[in-house]
Amino acid sequence: MTWLTLAWALTVGFLPMQTDAIYRGSIVDKIVAPENALATTFEFEARAFDCFKAWTTMRSYEEFSYDRIYMVPWRIDFAIGAEVYYGPFALGVWHECDHGVLSYNYTQPWYARGTTEIYLSIRGKVEF
């Protein structure tokens, strides 16, 4: 039995398109990502005693330029959670929040969002 396992991941992706929309009746505020955009994600997870898991994720969205060397973040999303599990059952809590980042060249509207959930889940798998 392993008493502690640590895992991490770093991901960089190109965003050919991303649009978020905020609907207020007949008014629609669209938040469009810059044309040249990257998403960088860092994930970390810890598991202990085959019954506990905690994790966190940070995802940053950046505008970049080929002709000038710069990267400007415009949004950062965070998630953190923990759960206790036994067999197929898990009891956990997680929190996710998204934050707009204002910078010197930021002209789009921005938003912030957050949610917290306490959950009970049952999991299964089928192996072939």
The CA distances from residue 53 to 78, 85, 91, 102, 123, in Å, are 17, 8, 10, 34, 15
**What stretch of H or E contains 108?**
none
Note the pLDDT tens digit of each residue in 111-123: 678 899 999 999 9
pLDDT score for 117: 96
Q: Would the pLDDT of 86 be above 80?
A: yes
Residue labelled with tokens 């929040």: 97
Distance separating alpha carbons of residues 58 and 56, to the nearest angstrom: 7
Domain boundaries, the chain: 4-122
Question: What's 36's DSSP letter?
Answer: S
Strand bridging mode 71-86 / 113-122: unpaired
> Do 62 and 98 contact (CB within 8 A), yes or no?
no
Strand bridging mode 27-32 / 19-24: antiparallel
Report the percentage of the chain scoring pLDDT > 70: 77
Note the pLDDT tens digit of each residue in 91-101: 999 999 987 77
**What stretch of H or E contains 93?**
strand 89-100
